[in-house]
Every structure is written in C-alpha cells, then in structure tokens.
A and B are shown apart, each in its own frame.
Chain A
Amino acid sequence: MLTKLYIKDLRVLLADKKGLMIFILMPIVLTAILSFALSGSFGDPGKMDAISVAVVKHYDYDAEVIAFEKIALQSMGAGQEGIDIGLIKESLDVESMFFDTFLGHEDLLRIMKVSVMTDAEAAKALEAGTVAVVVTLPKGFIVDQYVNFLLPINNPMVINLAQHPDYDYSSQIVKSIFDSYFDTLNKRFVNKNVFLEVGPTYLDRDMIFGNLEAVMSQDIEDAIQTHVVIDTIPGKRLINSFTYYSIAMMAMFILYSASYMGRELLSEKKMLTLDRGVVAGIHYGRVLTAKFLMTVTLCYLQMGILILFATFVLGVAWENPIKIMVAIAFSAIAVSGLGIFISAITLTAENYRIANIFENLLIHIFALIGGSYIPLEVLPKLFMTLKYFALNGIVLDLFINTYQDASWQQLGLYYLLLSAIAIVFSTIAAIIIIRKEATSYEGTAKA
C-alpha cells in the first residue's frame, strides 16, 4: 500500500512542471551565475592558484643610477671623494633585490605570478581579467631607494596598485605582501638614519661607511620569510567558486523540497483525496510516510542532478562518490524530516501560512546564515555559529568536508546531526499527525 501511495506522490510531483523548475532548474541557473560572478574571490581546487600581477616600470634604471650619483656627491659636499657607483650597484642592486630577491622568492612565487609589462599591456590585461593587479613602480623608484639606503635623508616612495573589480581578495593579498616588503625596507632605512646620526659621535667617517653595509645588509629573504607565511592544512583541497556555489545552492534549494512537502498534507485534505484514502482504510501515518519517501526521492533527484551539473559543466571534481552518496542520503532524510514536520503543523493549522512563511522568509534567512548566498568567512564571526541552526549550513559544511575528502570519522558528526534532525522532526510530525487523525475522527474540531 505504501508503494502505491509513494508512486502516486511521485507522479503528482513529476506532473508539477513549475515545481520542478524551481527545484532543479533554478539552482542550476543560480549556481552558474554565482560561480562565474564570484570566481575571482575563490582559489582553484587542489592548489592555491598564483595571483597574476603585472608590474609596470615607469623608471629608467641607468638614468636613475646616474641621478643618484649626482645626489650623493651633492649630499657629501665639496672636496669629498666621488662614490663608486659600480661597487654600489654590485653590493646593493635595489632592482635585483625587488625583482629577484623579493618577487622571485619561492614562497612568493606560490602566491603571485609577476609579469613585467608596459602601461598599455597592463591596462589590457587588467581589463581582460588575465591579471588581478597592476603594480606601477614610479619614476624615481630606483633613485629613491638608493637615497634611502645610503644617504642620511629619506625620500617618500609611492607604489600604485590597480585592481580588477572581480579580484578584491586577491588584490588585498598583493597589497599586504607589498606593504610587508616596504615595511621591511623602512625598518632598514630607520636603522640607517639612526646609525648615520648617532655614528659620527663615536666613529670616524670610514668606520661609519664601513659598518653601514652591515647595518643595511640584513638578508631581505629573512624579511620575506618573516612577513609572508603560507600555510595550508595538509590534505585539504581548496574550494573554488564553482565548487562552493554548486554545494551552497544545492543546500539551499533542498529546503524548497521541504517547503513543497510542507503543503502536501493540507493540500490533500483540501482536495478531499485524503478523506477518500481514509474511507478506503488508509491511515494518516502511512500517507505521511509515503510523503517522507517522496521528499527523500525529490532531494536525491535535486542533489544528484546538481552534482552531475557541477561535475560535467562546471568541472568540479568530486573525489569520493561513495561519500557523496552518503552525504546526499543524510541530507535528504534531514530535509524530509523537516518537510513532514512543516506539513504536519500546516495540516493542523488548516491554512498555508506556516508553509508560506517557511518558503518566503525562513528559507532566505537560512540561506544567509547557512552560507548559501555568500561564504560565511566574509561575514561577522557570529554567523559561523549561527550556521548550525540552519539545515543548509550543516549540509553545506558536510559537502565541503566531503569534497575535501575528510575522514569518515570527521564526517560522522554531520551524519549524526542530520540524523538527529530527521528523527526529531519526524517524531514530532508523527505525533502531531496521529493526534490530528484522532481529533478529525472524533470531531473535537471540525475537519
């Protein structure tokens, strides 16, 4: 008998073209839109993709070295020996320090991929989105560094960063790295100034300049390692926008299955098909069980199609199909439990208000606090706790962890949580329905 009820429910569901559009087509469309729109805010899976950075030089290296020579002579005053620019270039090559030591550092290469371009090339690349940030090294970049390194004066330096609007996070990372580099340089400059100001009291000129190299030559590589620490958790795959939104939309749209289910019992009551079933000897409990199974099937259908879409269209590589199937199963029973609970209270209320509130308000609140709209990492920390109050938040976490191939033990917590949701809501729904059936038959309230 249960099979007959289940098949009928399935037929009714499949005949509802509008409903199926919402359940299946909408999440596919939204996943595609959000994935592409926010692709710049996520890394690639499996490895951290280096951020493409274009560097534009507005300076002329040789001219600026000569310019520094003149400034140095003026600064030292008449009668002083000229400086050996060849020696300076050899021992303190600021351009090589920036491009080779800093930007060529192996840790930085994992984060940034730098190309030197002209203004026009950089502008074109930025517009096309092939680079996330354009760093412009201004005129005076070389001469100012030499001045700051070697003379008792400081010239302010301004580096311009232009970012692509889709790559906000990437730009912030690049800016932080450059800030770190120039902070390190500034510390050296301060050390130098202090040394040059205090040194003459105790040391003669030769000794001052003899020790200046030691003051300034603290390895820039050490500074980079101090400031840039790249840490990834071993075994974790990074999430890109396609992966994230295919999961996030799936987690959100399965709530619509609960909403669909939420209307079902009252709908059958109003159509009198439930009464017809009762006259034929069918109990409410059996009707409810069939609808639970129908919702599980609907969730399987929804999630299965979205997983396939993500795999074959968006290129999301799900590592472990068995874990995915298990995650779908637990998510589906939790959603179905919630669905029959809504259905039971909607039937008791004898109007669709509760189902409407769930569909038009609660789903959107859950979508926000569960991370279906935007990753919770960019929201206040409170949301990270709140997500466990949203079924989609738990499902999203489960699938993210499943995608990252977390261990069965780690996933077990989510399975338990979802099972608990299914059991609690289904039990409450069953109690409500049994009481409703009794009151309808007893006629304590006119049904």
Chain B
Amino acid sequence: MQTVSKMESKPSKTPPSPSVEGPSKQPRHRDRWFDSQLLRLYNDVVNEPLPDELSQLVTKLQNKMAGSND
C-alpha cells in the first residue's frame, strides 16, 4: 500500500486530467496517462475482496499473529 500512496502523492506535474482526456499524442503525457490507467487497474485488483480460500488463510494467519502476541 505504501507504494500506491507514494505514486498517488505526486500529481502536481500531471497534465490536464488524463482520466478524462484519454491518451495524448505527446509521449510524456501519454506515458503519464498509461501510468494512471495502470494504477487504476492495479488498485481495482488490490481492493477486490479476497476469495474464500485466501480469506480463510488470512484469518488463520491473523489468529496466529494474535496468539503469538499474547
């Protein structure tokens, strides 16, 4: 999560909102637009709820963590 917030924290040089305009012909702007789309795609997956099997594993890990802290 740290890296995502790091990337989100540097929008000051961003050209006119790429999410609205679509890809630009200018390479630098186009690459920024690509990055913004990639980040959005990445965050969609990162924020998806976990499937059952993984969720159970996470719960087990969290419980063991809590147990080891007692």
Is B truly associated with A?
A: no
B residues bordering A, Cβ < 8 Å? none
